[in-house]
Every structure is written in structure tokens, then in C-alpha cells.
Amino acid sequence: MAGSKKEIGTGFITEVDRYLFNNGRHYEIFEKMGAHPKKYKGKNGMYFAVWAPHAEQIGVVGDFNSWDPEANAMKPLADSGIWEAFVPGIAAGELYKYAITTKSGKILFKADPYAFSAEYRPGTASVTADLSDFQWGDDAWMDKRGSTDPMNAPMSIYEVHLGSWRRKNRPEKDGCYTYVEAARELADYVTDMGYTHVELMGIAEHPYDGSWGYQVTGYFAPTSRYGTPQEFMYFINYLHKKGIGVILDWVPAHFPRDAHGLSEFDGEALYEYADPRKGEHPDWGTKVFDYSKYEVDNFLIANAIYWVEKYHVDGLRVDAVASMLYLDYGRENGNWIPNRYGSNENLEAIEFFKHLNSVMADRGNGAIVIAEESTAWPKVTEKPEDEGLGFTFKWNMGWMHDFLEYMKLDPYFRKYNHHKMTFGLTYFTSEKYILVLSHDEVVHLKCSMINKMPGLLEDKFANLKAGYTFMLGHPGKKLLFMGQDFGQFHEWDEKVALDWYLADEPQNAGLQSYVKDLLQLYRKYPALYELDYDWDGFQWINANDGDRSIFSFIRYSRDHKRSLLFVINFTPVERPDYRVGVPKRGTYTLVLDNSHGLYKRGDKAPAFRSVKKECDGQDYSIAYSLPAYGTAVFRF
């Protein structure tokens, strides 16, 4: 029985394993739980282990035993809630589930929470897999990652939904690219454009395409929509060898109610809080993980380690952090439970984040953890020992909202909203920020980036070039969602591919070329990334030219060599005699503008000699013609 101390078991899960897991400290529990190829008593087969402390009986079922709950009964391991079984004669590639008999006598057919692979939708079974036979070839990348400080390195992220990035005209799997096909074409595109990383939406297995991968049923299984676990390893390995980092969206906040998933896994609330006032998201119709249980914390933290160590991913972007931190998130008064101090912070989730990020910092080999946190919660990126949550970076949602509100305005009204563009520069050192224009901003009637812009089509493209230039110059790492770099017109739709034909249209091609120039400028000049979170790296020249809606500022490198002066005009009014203050005497060479793009080797870049003439509070200044919606970046 489950409480018997006489149970010996197979020996694959040891007493130490059980102790560590039940105390939330078994960071490689995925090596023991789930399904693993083993040899036992001279026979080859698969070993299964699952945590289900409320179960009365469990059987492993699959095609191999005609889905008979009695055929391969599991045995409980003493005082741990873990059940195990060895099934001889089966190997990788078998469909399976757990048939869990509850205390009420009902039998639940559940997918394996620790399964390494899953059946292609709409199937819901787990699939046995062997992850040990892939040969990695990214040693150089991994060594470099472990020795690089991400704070003072360039990071320009291309956010991608693989199922709708590109599609092929074929019936198999809706025409989606496989991991192998996507690796080659995506690496070529990202390399050509100049992004440093890709961030992938919806890789962990999920039943519903419309959730975009944010309602997960298979936390350890790369979705079978695009291929096998080994093919996903190939994807990451290929991008690494091309010098591209890979970040995954990760969802430890909630999970769906699907009958085959984690919800009431063994007949009772197990992975979720039992009280619906704490264990359910009313807005999303999902369940909330119970961070008070060591085994649940262990499941999630081990899952983070799994993606970093087994798949070599370079970072996790943690979704919906605010929903975890606040007990009243999305809940009306009287429908949530205060903590023991009577306030709305989820103390267990706070400790979970500190634990997670401490472990990741200790053994992640340079992998980063990014918080999608939409409030003003303090010290998100401070170390846990300094009362922080320990994240590497935080999405700057405040900057994003202010930026988009400004950019959507008719240029006439921008002078009354000048502060929306300057406010972000009052707090940019308070966290380690990533500036984001993500998928969330181009769906649900929010319009694509190009269609957020005011004016006729020509004005829209000019506005977006100016906006992207401001984003590039603003301190913080960068993220841009796919399709927005060439001016995708319609909103993102996960059911169809991007309109790649637009990249051949003159204005769209011009925008794409300009974004490419911005990204190349970004990687070329350390001034744009070395001091992202230090006031020594930024200086306003004129933050108050609201009447003309012009912004001018400087980005400095650590050694103050090859600094950059930005001037951006957000109106359609040309300034033929524009004068801007500069901090020192010398030559200011134009390296990029919105009409020419990036001045490359061999181009005759315009140069301007400063004169001793006060402007913008500076002793020196330069004068030049600033076009309508003009952007100009000078090197000095």
C-alpha cells in the first residue's frame, strides 16, 4: 500500500530521490519521473513513475496492452506519493497514459506530466521517447554563453510563432514547417537581419492552437506539431552553430482544465490550489499552480532546468508573472484570499521565484530568465539575497504602452503628449529592462504595427521608421514580433502564415531594409548596449522640444569612444536649418538616417564640424537639414 515501508520497488527511484523530491530539491527529477528506457531483470523495456498521492490504483495503459488498466499495474513507493512500474518489451514511440483510479472509484486517463513527447493533436496521449541519442555540436556557443555577461552584450530578439511564421502548401500538419525546416530558413533570416536571439512562442505541448501555447498540458514535451524531441534539439543546435540564441516562452502561472492534463490529476486538487479563490483564474478559465507544495515547485523548477540542460535553451521568458504575484489578480473583492498578513501578495509564489532564479543562476551556465511582469512590483531583477525576485531581465511594459500611445497619435497632438516618450528615461535604471513590441500588441483588434501609425501609407512607414529608431536608441535590450519588421498589414493570426510577399513591395522592403540597418548599427556600436542600465550610458540633449516633437540624446559606450547622437523628428514638418547642441568640439559623422539608411564602408557619409555656439544647454552645436519624420544618428 502507499503507506507501507516494506515496499522496495525496482530501485530506479531511490530513497534519496524521494526525499529530495518531497522537499522540493530534486532538480533532475525528470531523469526519474515519466517514462525511461531501462533494463530490469534481464529484460529491456520502459520504466514509468508518476506522482499521484491521492490515487487508489494506477495502471500504465497503451496500445501495447490494449489500454487495459489492469494489465500493467503500478506500485506505490513508501511515503512519497510516487507510483512506479516496469513494462518489458516496449521502446520509444509508444502511446501511453496513466489510468488512475480515484478514491471515489472513477478511472481517469491522464497524460504523463513528465512525458518527453506527446501525440499529435487532437490526440492526447503521451509518447515514450529516448533523449539520450542526440549528438550536440554547439560546444563553442555554450562555452561563450557561460562566459558572457548578458547585461553589457547586445540582445535583439525576434519573437516567433513557428506555426505561422511560414507555411508550405501541403496537407500534412496544416502545412506547418518542421523544426528541421524552420531551423534552416529561420537562421538564414535572423542572420541576414541581424537579430541576436529568437524567442519561441508555444513550444511546450498544448491541446488548443488558439491558446498560442500558453495553456500547457505537456511541460516536458516539445509540441509534436512541428516534429520530435530530437528534431527540436536539431533546431536549437543548428541556430547555436549559426550564432543565434534561443529563448522559450515558459508558463508556470496556470494550466488548462483539459481532462487528460494536470487538472485534478489524481481525483483531487494536486498541482493546483484546492480553494478556487486561489486555484482558478476566472478570466482565463484555468487552474493555478499550488506553490505551497514542494513537489509542485520541484516539478516547475526541474522543468526550467530540463529545457536549459537537455535542450540547451538560452533563456526562459516567464509568462504572466503578475498573475502569480498578486492573490487578487483578475479577481473581484471577496473572491480572493489574503495572505497571513492580510495583504494581496502571494508569498508562496514570491518564494518560488526566488528559489527558481537562484537555482538557474547557480547551474544555468549563463541562461537567462525574463519576467513578463506588467506592474510596478519592485526589485524584479534584483538578487534574492537583496530582497529581489532574481530575474535576469524584465519586459518593460510601461515603456511599451507609452510608446504605442504616442505613436498612434496624429502628429499635431504629439506635442501635448511629449512626456509619454520621455517618461521611460526617468526609470530605465530601476530594473534590467527589455523593450518589447510583442505578439500581444498586434492581435485582438489592436492593429499591426504599421496600421497603428497615423496618416496615409507613406506617412505610416515614415512614422514607424522614426519609432523604431527611438526604440533602438532608448536604453534596454530589444524585442520585435515577427512580421513587424517588414510592415505586415493585417493583425497576426496563428492560423495562417505571414504575408511574406509584402517584403517585395517597395515600401515594405524599404522598412525591412531600414530595420536591418538599425540592427546592424546596434550590434556594431557598444554604446547601444554596454551601459543599458547605467546613467553613464545616456544623456539627454533636448528632452523638452515638445512644440516641434523632436527628441535628441546621446548613448555612450563604457570608454566613451564612438558615442552616438540621436535626433528624431516625429512630425511631417521639415526643419531645413535645424540646430542641435553637442557636448564637445569635433566632427559629427552621420552613420544612419531615414532616407539613406546605414552608411557603410565606401559610402560618403556626411560630416558636420561643431561650432562654438550654445544650443540645448551645450557650448557647441551642429546644424543640418532635418527632414519630415527625419531620423539621424551621428558618430563622434
Active-site residues: which are they?
319, 372
**3 state SS of 150:** helix
Count the Cβ atoms, other than its own, within 10 Å of residue 426: 10
Cis peptide before 606 (omega within 30 of 0): no
Contacts of 213 (CB under 8 A, 6+ apart): 201, 202, 203, 204, 206, 223, 249, 251
Which string of b and e fits 515-542 if b means at least 16 CB within 10 Å?
bbbbbbbbeebbbbbbbbbeeebbeebb
Cell of 448: 499591426
Cell of 316: 526562459
Cell of 94: 509508444
Count the Cβ atoms, other than its own, within 10 Å of residue 342: 6
Name the pairing type of β-strands 156-160 and 197-200: parallel
Among the listed residues 282, 262, 366, the one whose alpha carbon sits nearest the alpha carbon of residue 329: 282
Asked if 469 and 631 count as a contact pair (C-beta separation under 8 A), the reply is: yes
Which string of b and e fits 211-249 if b means at least 16 CB within 10 Å?
bbbbbbbbbbbbbbbbbbbbbbbbbbbbbbbbebbbbbb
Alpha helices in 337-453 (DSSP H): 347-363, 397-407, 411-414, 419-422, 449-452
Question: 582 φ, ψ to 5°?
Answer: -135, 155
Cell of 42: 534481464
Of all helices (H) and strands (E), which one includes residue 200?
Answer: strand 197-200
Distance of alpha carbon 137 from alpha carbon 9, whole angstroms: 38
Q: How many CA atoms lie within 13 A of 14 on its CB side?
A: 5
Q: Cα(first)–Cα(last) distance of the chain, in Å?
A: 76
Distance of alpha carbon 490 from alpha carbon 508, whole angstroms: 13
Distance of alpha carbon 121 from alpha carbon 226, whole angstroms: 11
Residues recorded for the chain: 636
What sign for the dihedral angle of Cα 593, 609, 570, 576? Answer: negative
Asked if 325 and 373 count as a contact pair (C-beta separation under 8 A), the reply is: yes
